[in-house]
Amino acid sequence: MITGLTGAGKSTYAERLRRDLGAVRFSIDDWNAVLFFPDRAPTSNFQWFYDRVQRCCTQMRATADHLLDAGQPAVFDCGFTNLHERTIFYDWADGLGVPVTLHYIDVPRDIRWDRVQQRNTEKGATFALEVTREMFEFIEDLWEAPTEAEMAARNGVMIGA
């Protein structure tokens, strides 16, 4: 599981980890970009996005059940903005008896905002939707970083800028 704020580099890191582990990567941005973003209205609010994120994550876990049963590792690039969101995945993994490694990417805010602006302009490999300053700040306000105890309990790996 990979956690961090917008622009931290989660998707880039997840892709590298996927290759290194021979895993399957589940990216919430990729799923939403194909399944839901094309249908969103300009007035779509956070709840609209959140409901769809939850649907995608439910299906990701169901698909990963089969992969894990076959011995295939999975990398989840789903943001995991707070402990509640992470706990949903922890409980699922614990129920399967599958260990979790939480990778926390911690990058200073100004660097992350610069990266977001660059991604918005370039629309490269990790671009799924344009992130406005308002969206960036909204997620900042929701963010709940993993504690030392959570990192210790989940084999935490800390990645800095």
Q: pLDDT at residue 38 above 90? A: no
Q: Which of the residue ranges 14-18, 24-28, 93-97, 126-130 would you say has the lowest mean pLDDT?
A: 126-130
Structure token pair of residue 159 = 């990645």
Distance, CA of 81 to CA of 59 (rounded, Å): 19
Whether residue 39 has pLDDT greater than 70: yes
Annotation: CATH topology of 2-160: Rossmann fold (3.40.50)
What are the tens digits of pLDDT across the range 46-56? 888 889 999 99
144 has pLDDT over 70: yes
Residue 36 has pLDDT above 90, yes or no: no
Pick from 36-40, 69-73, 102-106: least confident: 36-40
pTM given for the model: 0.90
Q: What is the per-residue pLDDT across 102-113, written as a single tens digit (0 to 9) for each? A: 999 999 999 999
Q: For residues 33-40, give the mean pLDDT.
A: 85
How many angstroms separate the CA atoms of 53 and 59, rounded? Answer: 10
3-state SS record for 25-81: EEEHHHHHHHHCHHHCCCCCCHHHHHHHHHHHHHHHHHHHHHHHHCCCCEEEEEECC
Q: In the chain, where are the structural domains located? A: 2-160
